[in-house]
Amino acid sequence: MRALRLPGWKSEPELIEVDEPTPGPGQVVVKIGGAGACHSDLHLMHDFEPGAVPWNPPFTLGHENAGWVHALGAGVTGLEVGQPVAVYGPWGCGTCARCRVGVDPYCENTAAAPAPGGGGGLGADGGMADYQLVPDARHLVPLPDGLDPVRAAPLTDAGLTPYHAIRRSWPKLVPGSTAVVIGVGGLGHVGIQILKATTAARVVAVDTRDAALRLAEECGADLALTSGAGTADEIRRFTGGRGADVILDFVGADATLALGVAAARTVGDLTIIGIGGGTLPVGFFSVPYELSIQTTYWGSRPELVEVLDLGARGLVRPKETTYPLEEAVTAYRQMRDGTLDGRAVIVP
């Protein structure tokens, strides 16, 4: 079968022929219907050095995957060949307290995981191939009626990651509140939809690109602002001088983190989702009183079930551009150049 593999750190992926996987006990092979291309993959290709994460190439890319059950290993129950499924991407040990409740990203026994701290497409073989071997049937979530694998694939990360971040701030997203989305890219535009579908907050979108701001408005943003020196002041005017209750930074650079602090309301949340490499000085007088600052990583398996339900009902739908497997590298180049609109989904 064909697979898009990363041969080493700081290298371009290669489309090569590899053996089709065979499931062992408890495992499942999925025929891939869609594999999302994520901006974090660019960091794997161009930025990471040996030792940056507890796993290494070579491996098949693609950590946003959905398709159909192709083959079942011994002992697998509850799934049928041909059944449409989404692949829950983070793969923990399966036995620690967090994995047992479906929060594999925060596995506390990573040495026993298939890809310590990662998953399919992040150390283990992912879904940018004709087939993917899933090491444990618990990582598969049946797709609800009305949601096909191409639409479902990006929801497993581009939907799940912002959903997890927003869900933890639900108590602060009440009527009269304001949420700010910084960076309207592959995750940010989905975050706007999730905010509109699950909260009563007004939504402000911030980006440097006109096309991204238009996309934000299409997704339901109440205000779209070009990032600049006066952006925080504009957000404060929009909120009657109070500032935003929740800031979701999908970039994570120095400038966006500083903007988040400048625009935040006291007792608000600033959640860092993007891995832009920025840092933020935090002191008693350098941030608003009781501002909670947190990072976040992916989401839980139960949350993925909720995200897929939103997708099936048409409440959340990533703007997607599809590419055949032969053009996956083109999709990554467009993402790198900033010319990709929405989310790229590779369709083998």
Q: Give pLDDT tens digits for 200-241.
A: 999 999 999 999 999 999 999 999 999 999 999 999 999 999
Residues 6 or more apart in contact with residue 43 via CB below 8 angstroms: 275
How far is residue 254 from each of residues 40, 151, 181, 278, measured CA to CA in Å?
Answer: 18, 33, 16, 4
Say if CB 182 and CB 259 are below 8 A apart.
yes
The model's pLDDT over 11-41, given as tens digits with 9 standing for 90+, comes to 999 999 999 999 999 999 999 999 999 988 9
pLDDT tens for each residue of 73-130:
999 999 999 999 999 999 999 999 999 999 999 999 988 998 777 899 999 999 999 9
DSSP of 206-231, one letter per residue? Answer: EES-HHHHHHHHHTT-SEEEE-STTH
Domains annotated for the chain, with CATH where assigned, are 2-157+299-347 (3.90.180.10), 160-295 (3.40.50.720)
* Distance (Å, whole) CA 27 – CA 23: 5
| CB neighbour list of residue 18: distance below 8 Å, 6 or more residues apart | 1, 2, 3, 5, 60, 129
Q: What is the pLDDT of residue 292?
A: 98
Average pLDDT across the chain, whole number: 96
Q: How confident is the model at residue 53 (pLDDT cuts 50, 70, 90)?
A: confident
**Integer Cα distance of 157 and 7 in angstroms:** 23
pLDDT attached to residue 149: 98
- pLDDT at position 342 is 77
Helix %, strand %, coil % for the chain, to 5?
Answer: 30, 25, 45
Integer Cα distance of 218 and 292 in angstroms: 30
What pLDDT is recorded for position 239? 98
Confidence tier at 171 by pLDDT (50, 70, 90): very high
**Among positive and negative, which fits the CA dihedral 313, 131, 3, 109?**
positive
User: Do 85 and 68 meet the contact criterion of CB atoms below 8 Å apart?
Assistant: yes
pTM above 0.85, yes or no: yes
pLDDT of 341 reads 76
Which tokens go with 19? 């053996």
